[in-house]
Amino acid sequence: MAIPEAHAHLTQSTILVTGGSGGLASRILQLFAERGSKHLHSLDLRPPSHPLPGVNYHTGDLTDTSTMQPLLKQIQPTVVIHTASPKFDSPNRALYKVNVEGTRTILQIARESGTQCFVYTSSASVISDAQTDLINAEETYPVLLEETQQPEYYVYTKALAESYVLSQNQRRGAKQFLTCAIRPSGIFGVGDLVVLPGILGAYFRGRTKWQIGENRNRFDFTENTNVAHAHYLAAAALLDQVYGLGHYDSPEDEEKTKIDGEAFFITNDEPRYFWDFTRLVWGFAGDTTRPEQVWVIPRSWALRLAGCLEWVFWGLRLGEPPLTRTKVRLSCMTRYFCIDKAKSRLGYRPVVGLEEGLQRAVEDCMGRRAAGDLKIA
């Protein structure tokens, strides 16, 4: 089934993006606006720092049914793009409340309000135990739904939420309610508050001459415009189905090309060795460290050091240490994904190259830091 190049029905539909004041959601709203969408709404706990023209902003707690029901009845969104989530290091209770309970609440209210399509922002990490290498991993890999399988509680809650969203897909009957999930890996870009600030923190602390592991592990990162593009394609494809624009030659063809009820890995399709990516970030920030100046710490030594630091910081109640065993494992893991499914079914191709997006994003981080809008140690 071919994906049409023009999506007139999408530009006329009412689109609601949850978490709309966040970096990714703002990029999604901006991209939809650039492509002609005329009825854009944002929902977040807080108002945006830089409102986008043409976007209707609403504040509210998506876990509060008494607030969400009248709001969605008023907006009557055709498409809901659900990106809202606390930070990955938030308390477990907050993560479960928003990512699991909040997702269930907003999905059910959206269905009741007449929403036809629901796109969930998941994570590529839902198939990862943060220890086992992932080499060209595909969507056929099982989602890890047991808390004991997921060392990061944030990822555990994202896995539960994704599973619920896909289970609610309803393609038959008078009232279609079509769902899918987008699984980005390592999101960075303009407005980034997590990936690049963390890497730049090491640069500003003068730690660019240290490296954990031998740098033989490739890793996938994704520029946020590409992630927004994937959400746009997913929403358009689901609406194509609602409006009857998709055509399948056979049930077998339908099963191989369907979008509803499916998850899609999204990357820049440019996996890089982990420390090559890190040093590219530092280089755009001004680092001049040469390869021969780098001290390589073996992974086994780094794990022992991180374990000691975790015990000391826990015992003295000093918060999170600068080096943890999870950080060591992630920096030494191979973790990249096959995006053939997104290419063939959504028509996805990255629209911003890795180095182009990275240079722009580092300049943005440096500018926000200089202006006092972004704290980087």
Segment 291-295 long-range contacts (CB within 8 Å, at least 24 positions apart): 293/209, 294/209, 294/210, 294/211, 295/209, 295/210, 295/211
Q: Give 298's DSSP letter.
A: P
- The DSSP annotation for 240-262 comes to HHHTT----SSHHHHHHH--TTE
Measuring CA to CA, how many Å separate 3 from each of 10, 67, 116, 171? Answer: 13, 37, 18, 18
CA distances from 243 to 9, 63, 116, 120, 178 (A): 8, 31, 10, 21, 12
CA–CA dist 95, 157 (Å, integer): 7
Is 158 catalytic? The answer is yes
Point out the catalytic residue in the list 97, 158, 341, 343: 158
Type and span of the H or E element at 15: strand 14-18
Catalytic residues: 158
